[in-house]
Amino acid sequence: MSKNNSKKSKKKIFIFGGLTVLLLIVLALVFFNKNDEKIIKVQTEKVQKRDITQVVSATGKINPVYSVELRPEVTGEIVQLPVKEGDHVRKGQFLIRLKPDQYIARKNKALASLNFAKATLAQRKATLAKVKGDFERVKKLYEQDLSSTADLEAARSSYLGAKAQVEAQQSSVMQAEESYKDAEVELAKTAIYSPLKGTITYLKVEVGERVLGSSFSQGTLLMTVSDLTSMEATVQVDENDVILISVGDTAKIKIDAFGDDEFLGTVSQIGNSAVTTGIGSQDQVVNFDVKIRLDNPNEKIRPGMSCDAEIQTETKNNVLSVPIQCVTARMPKSKSISKRGNKPGMKKASKKSKPQEVVFVVEDNLARMKPVKTGISNDSYIEIVKGLKEGQEVVTGPYKAISKELQDSVKVMLEKSFSKERKY
């Protein structure tokens, strides 16, 4: 009996000892893991006040502000073309003549018809004067009972008929005059003159070529005359950015052919109609045309040159700002809720929560997540409207740490201080 009791007590000692050793191992692992907590290396910069100019970037083409496409109003063969592409022309200068023979013939025919109508009118007026005199004479005789009613009615009928013929012929003369004027206008259209002072920037027709007038669809494009002293950039701006732009905004323009040279300009027009590119709803890109007039265009600038524009939409001076990469998104902290009431308990995330803009501030070697409200930005810095103070040290990198790794109260180490410790 005593042996059995001895065995049982030894067994209890072994079990108790094993549990104690296991507990000590667990506590040691927890302790060492706690001391071996991951430290994230970061770069930082202090919150400062600076001037920020918000910029919208876009690409497009250079075009003249004033440009006219010349198309003939009548059809014919080109018989005179005294200019060539690149020539400077003055307003009203003769440019092209179409073969006028058929239009001269039409004018002459119309003139002959007009002369005939006028001669006929003269004859009918003479006839009217005669029958009018006869009518008045018969009327006086009738009043003296020296003529019959039948004679009076016959004279009246002749007079009214002659009067109607004169009126009808007067209408014919007016029609003939309109036809003659139209023929004159058509003949005049065979000569084409420059509508403005400028340069011929497009010319693809030659002497002997037959061209169609504008009565046939749009007519043949003869040439384009452009005023190269007034140039503008037509750029396509994304639908999300176009609402930031206003007429009068200043812009910097770089033209590919001129390298790094910058040209200043002013927004003169913002399109109201969308320009959609791409096939399918997912691939579609919606842009709007924005025109920027160049302030001092170079005389070597040519229509159709490619350009990049930076439109300055808003400037704020001396505002709190941080490097743009500092601002990231995190889910907001949810409030602690206890099942039994309002006492602190387990955290429960709201289904309606949305990511909010945050910046990580370094305090006592810990990254503190600070919700912020941002304003305008440029390529490098973003305005902080609310959430930070001047002089605070914010995490600026690396990108992986800001976008994924950092959380509130995570231990951090500045890369500079970390590298110094390694040297020792």
Whether 390 and 419 map to the same domain: the answer is yes
Let me know if residue 398 belongs to a domain.
Answer: yes
How many whole angstroms separate alpha carbon 330 and alpha carbon 36? 26
Please give the pLDDT value at position 259. 93
Confidence at 220, pLDDT banded by 50, 70, 90? very high
- Specify whether 230 is located in the same domain as 292: yes
CATH code assigned at 361: 2.40.420.20
Decide which of 280 and 222 is more confident: 222
The pLDDT of residue 331: 86
Same domain, 295 and 371: no
The chain-wide mean pLDDT, for the chain, equals 87
With a cut of 50, say whether residue 105 has pLDDT above it: yes
Least confident of 97-106, 121-130, 155-164, 325-334: 325-334
Residue 400: both structure tokens together: 């992986």
* pLDDT reported for residue 214: 84
The CATH number assigned to the domain holding 196 equals 2.40.50.100
The CATH number given to whatever domain includes residue 264 is 2.40.30.170
* Contact by Cβ (8 Å): 118, 130: no
Q: Are the C-beta atoms of residues 47 and 419 closer than 8 Å to each other?
A: no
Does 384 fall in a domain? yes
pLDDT score for 122: 96
Q: What is the CA angle 207-210-215, rounded to 5?
A: 135
* Domain identity same for 89 and 109: no
Cβ neighbours for 258, distance < 8 A, ≥ 6 positions apart: 298, 301
Co-location of 174 and 212 in the same domain: no
pTM metric for this prediction: 0.68
Domain boundary among 268, 299, 316: 316
257 located within any domain: yes
Task: For residue 12, name the pLDDT band (cuts at 50, 70, 90).
Answer: low
pLDDT at 71 exceeding the cut of 80? yes
Last residue within a domain, chosen from 263, 282, 316? 316
Count structural domains, the chain. Answer: 4
| Statement to judge: residues 287 and 328 lie in one domain | no
Per-residue confidence (pLDDT) for residue 29, from 0 to 100: 57
In a domain? residue 30: no
* 372-401 mean pLDDT: 94
User: Is residue 2 included in any domain, yes or no?
Assistant: no
Please determine, for residue 145, whether its predicted confidence score (pLDDT) is greater than 90.
Answer: no
**Looking at the structure, do residues 238 and 371 belong to the same domain, yes or no?**
no
Same domain, 89 and 211: yes
Mean pLDDT of 339-353: 49
- Give the pLDDT of residue 18: 62
Q: What is the mean pLDDT of residues 350-369?
A: 87
In terms of residue numbers, what domain contains 405? 40-52+319-423
pLDDT score, position 278: 73
**37 — pLDDT class (breaks 50, 70, 90):** low
Query: Average pLDDT for residues 135-150, to the nearest whole number?
Result: 87
214 and 231 housed in the same domain: no
Mean pLDDT of all residues in 372-384: 94
* 113 in any annotated domain: yes
**Domain-located, residue 83:** yes
- Of 168, 200, 221, the one marking the end of a domain is 221
Query: How confident is the model at residue 354, as a pLDDT?
Result: 85
- Please, which contacts does 371-378 make with residues 24 or more away whose CB atoms are closer than 8 Å? 371/332, 372/327, 374/327, 375/52, 375/316, 375/319, 376/52, 376/54, 376/314, 376/316, 377/52, 377/54, 377/324, 378/52, 378/53, 378/54, 378/55, 378/324
Claim to verify: residue 145 and residue 89 sit in the same structural domain: no
Same structural domain for residues 238 and 144?
no
- Sign of the C-alpha dihedral, residues 322, 326, 328, 330? negative
pLDDT of 417 reads 40
Flag whether pLDDT at 309 surpasses 70: yes
Least confident of 50-59, 100-109, 212-221, 400-409: 212-221
Residue 285 inside a domain? The answer is yes
Same domain, yes or no: 276 and 206: no
Which segment of 197-206, 230-239, 330-339, 379-388 scores lowest on mean pLDDT?
330-339
Would strands 381-386 and 366-371 be described as parallel, antiparallel, or unpaired?
Answer: unpaired
